[in-house]
């Protein structure tokens, strides 16, 4: 059974080897990676990994579809042999790590727990800065362990998911959060479940991109999401722009909605020995080790350069002054969601 992960990256070479090592340990067999506009050697690292037979690298040089860079890449992915041959597909970002809680914590164990499903929604669990202001070359999974509570009531973005789906023809194209272009003759037989194995309503087959509020969606699997890193890394990310729409600048609003540090979750360390062994093998390649070291230095240099510009210096100052985000109570969240529903109703949605 072939599990394919699809990844879109720009200037992420400092984190790429850890991401690859973890997902190889989790059980992914194949990787299709798109890169664009890289200044830190990400594209060169991917070229080397492709030479080693560990992934397929495609330079996403444009022109870009109106949906953005990532949408363009996924549109192109649908035409590749890797997508056509895969049994299961999961599009991911480099700051997302699959965290399986059942059996030996691999995809094999997850399928054993959910043998007859068509799609599994992997709901984000947001990990904040864990109080780290400065970037260091340490594994993300070992550095950031403070996160949002298991049950969140607001914002809806905290409950967004990525979809691990069976590539049986029910959906013809991968999408950012969910597969696209369904075959209507197959759709009725599709069986969607959440990360706790519960059957999901029909709306999830074609529309939803976030899980229901106020419930534990993580019993069998969750998606550890590290959208911020250290505060320095967030400034560099702000310079890069959003993954979906690169022209959209990141600010304090994005940071506050994701900097949850109230709980601690180290369950992803269940695969730490396997991940460490994979990472050691990757870094044993002299070329990869050199490219990784150069990428780490690039990030440090880029942060220094950005701090010479007032907008980024101001942003870093605001990050330092902003306390960790506190989850809203259920009552307060219900007040906000009530008005959100009114707004949708009034707009005729």
User: Is the residue at 296 inside a domain?
Assistant: no
User: Is the residue at 70 inside a domain?
Assistant: no
User: Is the residue at 209 inside a domain?
Assistant: yes
pLDDT of residue 241: 74
Would you say how long the chain is, in residues? 349
Query: Which tens digits make up the pLDDT trace of 136-159?
Result: 999 999 999 999 999 999 999 999
How does residue 349 score in pLDDT terms, banded at 50, 70 and 90?
low
Query: Which tens digits make up the pLDDT trace of 83-97?
Result: 999 999 999 999 999
- C-alpha dist (Å) from residue 206 to 4, 116, 179, 222: 21, 19, 8, 21
User: Is the residue at 323 inside a domain?
Assistant: yes
User: Is the residue at 50 inside a domain?
Assistant: no
State the alpha helices, DSSP H only, in the chain.
13-26, 42-51, 69-77, 81-85, 107-113, 140-143, 184-187, 231-240, 252-256, 272-283, 286-306, 310-321, 330-346
Domain of 99?
15-28+79-277+306-346
Q: What are phi and psi of 208, to 5 degrees?
A: -65, 145
Is the whole-model pTM more than 0.75?
A: yes
Query: Which tens digits make up the pLDDT trace of 218-243?
Result: 999 999 999 999 999 999 999 987 55
Q: Which two tokens stand for residue 216?
A: 């534990």
User: Is the residue at 292 inside a domain?
Assistant: no
User: Is 72's pLDDT higher than 70?
Assistant: yes
User: Is the residue at 65 inside a domain?
Assistant: no
User: Is the residue at 290 inside a domain?
Assistant: no
- Measured CA to CA, the distance from residue 28 to residue 1 in angstroms comes to 10
pLDDT of residue 248: 62
User: Is 244's pLDDT higher than 70?
Assistant: no
């Amino acid at each position: 059974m072939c599990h394919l992960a699809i990844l879109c990256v720009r200037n992420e070479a400092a984190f790429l080897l850890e991401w690859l090592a973890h997902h190889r340990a989790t059980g992914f067999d194949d990787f299709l990676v798109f890169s664009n506009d890289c200044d830190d050697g990400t594209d060169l690292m991917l070229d080397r990994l492709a030479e080693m037979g560990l992934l397929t690298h495609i330079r996403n040089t444009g022109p870009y579809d109106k949906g953005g860079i990532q949408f363009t890449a996924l549109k192109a992915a649908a035409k590749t042999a890797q997508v056509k041959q895969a049994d299961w597909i999961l599009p991911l970002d480099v700051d997302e790590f699959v965290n399986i809680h059942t059996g030996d914590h691999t995809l094999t164990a997850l399928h054993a727990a959910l043998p007859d499903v068509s799609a599994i929604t992997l709901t984000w669990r947001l990990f904040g800065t864990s109080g780290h202001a400065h970037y260091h070359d340490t594994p993300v999974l070992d550095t950031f362990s403070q996160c949002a509570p298991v049950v969140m009531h607001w914002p809806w973005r905290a409950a967004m998911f990525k979809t691990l789906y069976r590539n049986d023809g029910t959906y013809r194209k991968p999408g950012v959060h969910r597969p696209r272009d369904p075959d209507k003759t197959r759709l009725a037989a599709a069986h969607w479940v959440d990360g706790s194995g519960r059957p999901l309503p029909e709306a999830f087959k074609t529309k939803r991109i976030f899980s229901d509020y106020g419930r534990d969606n993580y019993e069998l699997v969750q998606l550890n999401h590290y959208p911020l890193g250290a505060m320095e890394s967030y400034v560099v990310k702000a310079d890069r722009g959003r993954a979906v729409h690169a022209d959209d600048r990141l600010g304090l609003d994005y940071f506050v909605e994701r900097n949850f540090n109230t709980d601690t979750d180290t369950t992803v360390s269940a695969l730490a020995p396997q991940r460490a062994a994979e990472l050691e093998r990757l870094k044993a390649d002299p070329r990869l080790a050199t490219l990784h070291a150069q990428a780490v230095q690039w990030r440090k240099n880029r942060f220094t350069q950005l701090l010479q510009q007032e907008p980024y210096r101001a942003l870093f100052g605001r990050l330092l002054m902003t306390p960790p985000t506190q989850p809203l109570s259920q009552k307060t969240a219900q007040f906000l969601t009530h008005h959100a529903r009114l707004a949708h109703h009034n707009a005729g949605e």
